[in-house]
């Protein structure tokens, strides 16, 4: 499978510069996907360097490079510490997480990530998981559904959407992309329909895969594993993720409220390397339109 088809990595040179790669260092690509970032890291590693690439999606295994310095980890990056313990790794020189969904997932009709196609409401990154988008739509309470759409989709009519879903499933289960999209469409103005449906599907995807919970666990584990001069490089694609990363770097917690010691020093383990969030250039956006929403933050231990 060609990497260009599977995924085109955003801000690749900036990510590599942010990692400050040492030839004999140990690195982790938390979101292997098509392997674009991993191959760029391997290009900069010497024979003693090591790279661990995480991905919970079995489809990504086909993109593994044939390189003795690379280890593919079939698992969720939230279990970073567990897997590093398994491989006997106590410190990591650089951790990269590209939190964007691979093109492959949006463009593969059978995965159910996009309302552009007909198919089952799936959205599972880990296809061994039993909890799909259809499961949530047909079992969650009206209040739970409203919270999903409001918190993860930032949809102000979340309660109305939830009510419509609960009413619909009283007569039949919601299983197909098309029927769900058609159920949601009347709640949005025609000119904003595509944008709002994208938010609906984003919210469901985040809930299906517990993306916010996984990100929180990853950030907490990074602090435990980074070497004294190690780097954390995170690419986010929506405000919810970016806010979590920004707050954690700034304050050491996810609320963004700094705690201080007796002398007034902020008790945050990380410090930002780039004082201003980095975004894709106009030239990159023209080549890769999906990089438009990418935001890059780089941090290191204090």
**Confidence grade of residue 103 (pLDDT, cut at 50, 70, 90):** low
Q: What is the mean pLDDT of residues 234-256?
A: 95
Burial class of residue 120, CB neighbours in 10 A (0-12, 13-18, 19+): middle
User: Is a pLDDT exceeding 60 seen at residue 229?
Assistant: yes
Helical axes 177-184 vs 193-208, angle rounded to 10°: 130
pLDDT, tens digit (0-9, with 9 covering 90-100), for 170-192: 999 999 999 999 999 999 999 99
Candidates 3.90.79.10, 1.10.150.170, 1.10.1760.20, 2.40.50.100; CATH matching 130-208: 1.10.150.170
Tokens of 55: 């991905």
CATH 1.10.150.170 domain span(s) along the chain: 130-208
- Distant-in-sequence, close-in-space partners of 276: CB < 8 Å, separation ≥ 6: none
pLDDT, tens digit (0-9, with 9 covering 90-100), for 52-64: 999 998 888 999 9
Global confidence as pTM: 0.89
User: Is a pLDDT exceeding 90 seen at residue 297?
Assistant: yes
- With pLDDT > 70 as the criterion, what percentage of the chain qualifies? 92
Q: Measure Cα distances from 214 to 3, 195, 221 in Å.
A: 25, 26, 11
User: Is a pLDDT exceeding 80 seen at residue 114?
Assistant: no
Asked which of 4-13, 180-189, 198-207, 251-260 is least confident by mean pLDDT, the reply is: 4-13
Asked which of 99-108, 139-148, 225-234 is least confident by mean pLDDT, the reply is: 99-108
CB 18 within 8 A of CB 231: yes
* Eight-class DSSP state of 25: -
- 79 phi, psi to nearest 5 deg: -100, 30
Fold of domain 3-103+211-301: Rossmann fold (3.40.50)
Q: In whole angstroms, what is the distance from residue 100 CA to residue 235 CA?
A: 7
**Confidence grade of residue 264 (pLDDT, cut at 50, 70, 90):** confident
CATH 3.40.50.150 domain span(s) along the chain: 3-103+211-301
């Amino acid at each position: 499978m060609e990497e260009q088809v599977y995924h085109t990595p955003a801000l690749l040179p900036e990510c590599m510069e942010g990692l400050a790669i040492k030839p004999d260092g140990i690195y982790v690509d938390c979101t292997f996907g098509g392997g674009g970032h991993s191959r760029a890291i391997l290009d900069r590693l010497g024979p003693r360097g090591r790279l661990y690439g995480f991905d919970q999606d079995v489809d990504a295994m086909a993109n593994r490079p044939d390189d003795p310095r690379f280890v593919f980890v079939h698992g969720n990056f939230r279990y970073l510490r567990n897997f590093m313990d398994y491989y006997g790794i106590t410190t990591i020189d650089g951790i990269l997480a590209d939190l964007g969904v691979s093109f492959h997932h949006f463009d593969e009709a059978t995965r159910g990530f996009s309302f552009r196609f007909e198919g089952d409401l799936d959205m599972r990154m880990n296809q061994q998981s039993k909890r799909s988008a259809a499961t949530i739509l047909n079992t969650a309470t009206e209040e739970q559904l409203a919270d999903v759409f409001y918190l993860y989709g930032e949809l102000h009519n979340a309660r109305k959407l939830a009510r419509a879903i609960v009413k619909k499933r009283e007569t039949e289960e919601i299983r197909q992309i098309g029927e769900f999209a058609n159920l949601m469409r009347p709640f949005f103005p025609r000119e904003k329909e595509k944008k709002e449906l994208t938010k609906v599907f984003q919210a469901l995807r985040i809930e299906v895969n517990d993306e916010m919970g996984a990100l929180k666990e990853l950030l907490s584990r990074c602090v435990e594993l980074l070497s004294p001069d190690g780097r954390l490089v995170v690419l986010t694609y929506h405000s919810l993720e970016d806010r979590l990363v920004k707050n954690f770097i700034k304050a050491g917690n996810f609320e963004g409220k700094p705690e201080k010691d007796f002398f007034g020093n902020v008790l945050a383990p990380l410090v930002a390397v780039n004082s201003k969030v980095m975004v894709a250039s106009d030239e990159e956006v023209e080549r890769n339109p999906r990089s438009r929403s990418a935001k890059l933050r780089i941090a290191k231990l204090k």
